[in-house]
Structure 1
Amino acid sequence: VGSFFARLALALRIPISWAIKPTVYAQFCGGETIEESEDKIEMLHKNGVKTILDYSAEGVTTEAELDSTCDEILSAVNAAGNDPRHAFSVFKPSGLSLHELLAKPIAEFSPEEEDQWSRVLGRIDSICNSTSKSKGRVLIDAEESWIQDNIDIVAEDMMKKYNSQSAVVFTTVQLYRHDRLEYLQKLGERAKAEGFKVGVKLVRGAYMEKERARAEKMGYPSPIQPDKASSDRDYNLAINHCLDNLDVFEIFAGTHNADSTLMLCSEMEKRGLKNDDPRITFSQLLGMSDQITFNLAAHGYNIAKYVPYGPIREAMPYLIRRAKENTSVAGQTTRELRLIRKEMQRRLAK
């Protein structure tokens, strides 16, 4: 109900900042600007947690807006490159390209669309190049399956260009899709053959209901796993595949799942990897699963929080998704705490 009224207010341009900013916005976002996010950044730093500044504006529709979003992401890249409290930068390709362009096969572009795509590639390359020059790392977020093919093409090109020595550019693989484990394996084979590193952010995924509804409406097989157990299985298999091939992969484990977190800790220990191995980073979203984040930080793992920022109105779609997701995750909290304490006590006793 709350998300319905939030969407309605957004559509009708009803001012709701007074209600949103001190509540759900303060829970999940750093501030409206990088400067306004400083208190959250410093709080995380004092607790051994790094920041990933995430400009959360969505739904841009003009070339000028796309350029403006790119400029803001470059500002975040520059802030991260000059500040050791930051771990990565990040961007959503849909913030740098018209949606219909991402959804259309590149081979079918008209001359005008080819020009637009060239500008998209220029924006993305400028972000990756700036990240490389500042010796930082940047995450390319995954999106809906019907625009992901073009995103994969660009992400792979950027990794081949910038990841010759170590992973500067990270792609994202959503394991709630039944085809992504195979994709990850083939990507690793390509990287090994062509001589580049794969930075990979492993997540379960954020668009399950949307994906299933579209597949049903348009009459094609759903790309989503049949059940949660299948997503969990492939997520853990993906983690292990990357650990088995650390000569090619660097891992960014984006998860609020206690079992997967503990599994990765355990597998690192089995392989004799240090808690702070620079090839492995854990991450959660600001405002979610703090019990995982701060326990990992206390035991010396590389841990970072996504810290979204941006104008409240532009961040509303993100906030609505987070509020829904937080409700589904909340039930894990007591069990997560018990499991993590047990594992950490075991490690401290050794």
Structure 2
Amino acid sequence: MHSRTSLRCLPILANFDVISIRSGLRGTKTVYQHRLNTTSARSVSDASSSPPPLTSPSDQRSALARLPTTGIVRSLILGSFLASPLLFNPGLAFLQRITRSKSLLLNPDRNWLLRAVIKPLIYDQFCAGTHEAEIRKRVAAIRDLGFSGVLLAYGKEIQIYEKNNTSAEQVVAASKHDEELELWKKGNLQTLDMLEENDVLAMKFSGAGIFTVDAMLKNEPPSTQMLDTLDAIAQAAARKKCRIIVDSEQQSIQKSIDRWTIDWMRKYNRGDRPVIINTLQAYLKESRDKLTYQLGLAEKEGWTLAIKLVRGAYMSNDRRELIHDTKPETDQSYNSIVHDVLTQSLPGFDRQKFPKMTIFLAGHNQQSVDKATSLVEKLDRDGKLNIVPEFGQLQGMADDLGCRLLNWNENRVSSNELRPHCKVYKYMTWGSTQECMEYLVRRAVENRGAADRMKDDMAAMYSELKTRMVDALMGRKARTN
């Protein structure tokens, strides 16, 4: 087994994320754009075009009662910052400068004044912690709120370029393939150490180092050392009864990621408890073709396909022609995939003998969650809920939506204990403040892009905070669920 080292001293290559890859490789063209807008798209639209909201306004207040006051105050401060162009634009530019700067003065791990601002206001909103004790405390708090568990990932990210653009230092690093893999392996095993049964380890293959990224750029198979490393991590996760999600990355390496992950699923998803989960990005035009291909392969070869469905997070890096032209088209893609999987009506498969698969619905879109929960209830009433979805959101994003999902799920199960339980998770990233800066910048941009939803969330949080202040002044006991 691996040694227990200080998390602050964890090797810097553990589970890195690629932020920018310059590549001339071209991805596979989609052939499913037309079908998306026909049969399947109409079916989900007709079936649940106007689902009832997940909760009423009073239920939303009840859901917010789960959240700690510090979290609500921090969300309101960040919301005010993100909603104001006068504050957000220069603030984002400063955060990006910190992320890319080599100056010790702009390193929050070295500059206590900078850390004193970023850590409590931004880092603590989106991240799990910088050391093991802090991480375990934060994860325990998430469980206390009622969440089923966490998806935990190491947050360090770097820029990696195609081989002919690498610096001399990167070329030297690429020659140390075994060393890179060992660091990545230790990082993932140490993350597993902080998880409990049914939790999920989230990882990016790019974290295995420059040599591995170069192989993916060239569409080469994983090295023997990489295969041995993946076996060690998967076996450790299986022993602990945890799962592993392979996160999506940029399209220049995603084809290799999918192929490597399919091989991994082929080996470790043959029992009743699949270990490996692949990620499907609904904003890509080829997402349905990918799902159809992977499910067909799993059915033919006798293993279980496990999918995490997301909208997508690499729009600024991926080629625009690969992405749906409008947000409504992306929404339709996401919702129709959910519908066809849960109803076992995916074109090309026998509904009566639908292949075994699991699906994890990751996202912060209220309408998509409403459609999914409405469909779950209908299928459950009809005795046709054969695929029970799991739900998850990023820590610090749509926390009220996650809590409303908890209320919805608990109300369902309390009325009938035989009803299947839809687990709800939080995705959390850990690492030092500086190590998580790239991750934090992406979260800021994502939240800024959801301005309309944020206005409604802030209004509800202001109301909740006001209620708590009145309760405190009147000496009333805090409300609980």
Tell whether the structures are fold-level matches, with TM greater than 0.5: yes
Aligned partner of 1:6 in structure 2 is 95
**Secondary structure of the equivalent of 1:12?**
coil
Write out per-residue CA displacement over residues 250-287 of structure 1, whole angstroms, 9 at most, x where no aligned residue. 0110110011111111111121179x998421000000
CA pair 318-271 structure 1, distance change in 2 beyond 3 A? same
CA pair 329-39 structure 1, distance change in 2 beyond 3 A? farther
1:180 maps to which of 276, 284, 287: 287
Structure number with higher relative contact order (C-alpha < 8 Å, ≥ 6 residues apart): 2
Write out per-residue CA displacement over residues 46-71 of structure 1, whole angstroms, 9 at most, x where no aligned residue. 11112221111122864434432321
CA RMSD after TM alignment: 2.5
Structure 1 residue 129, shift from structure 2 partner: 2.0
Aligned partner of 1:126 in structure 2 is 232
Identical pairs, percent: 28
Residue 260 of structure 2 is aligned to residue 154 of structure 1:
yes
Aligned partner of 2:276 in structure 1 is 169
Residue 292 of structure 2 is aligned to residue 292 of structure 1:
no
Contact 2:180 2:209 in 1 (8 A): no
Superposition TM-score, scaled by structure 1 size: 0.84
Q: Which deviates more from structure 2 when the two are superposed, residues 41-50 or residues 10-19?
A: 10-19
**Secondary structure of the equivalent of 1:208?**
coil
Contact 2:188 2:203 in 1 (8 A): yes
2:310 maps to which of 182, 188, 203: 203
Q: Runs of at least 4 residues of structure 1 off by over 6 A? A: none
Superposition TM-score, scaled by structure 2 size: 0.62
CA pair 65-3 structure 1, distance change in 2 beyond 3 A? farther
Q: Which deviates more from structure 2 when the two are superposed, residues 69-78 or residues 184-193?
A: 69-78
- Counterpart Cα distance in 1 of 2:359 and 2:451: 26
**Secondary structure of the equivalent of 2:436?**
helix
Residue 185 of structure 2 is aligned to residue 70 of structure 1:
yes
Write out per-residue CA displacement over residues 14-59 of structure 1, whole angstroms, 9 at most, x where no aligned residue. 2234132122111110111332212321221111112221111122
- Counterpart Cα distance in 2 of 1:255 and 1:32: 25
1:255 maps to which of 363, 379, 385: 363
Mark the structure with the bigger radius of gyration. Answer: 2
2:432 maps to which of 283, 294, 311: 311
Structure 1 residue 309, shift from structure 2 partner: 0.2
Count of matched residue pairs: 319
Contact 1:142 1:173 in 2 (8 A): yes
- Counterpart Cα distance in 2 of 1:21 and 1:198: 39
Write out per-residue CA displacement over residues 123-170 of structure 1, whole angstroms, 9 at most, x where no aligned residue. 223222211222221100010111001100111011110111232110
The runs of 5 or more residues in structure 1 that have no matched partner are: 108-113, 216-221, 339-350
- Counterpart Cα distance in 1 of 2:267 and 2:251: 24
CA pair 336-21 structure 1, distance change in 2 beyond 3 A? closer
Contact 1:78 1:134 in 2 (8 A): no
Aligned partner of 1:33 in structure 2 is 131
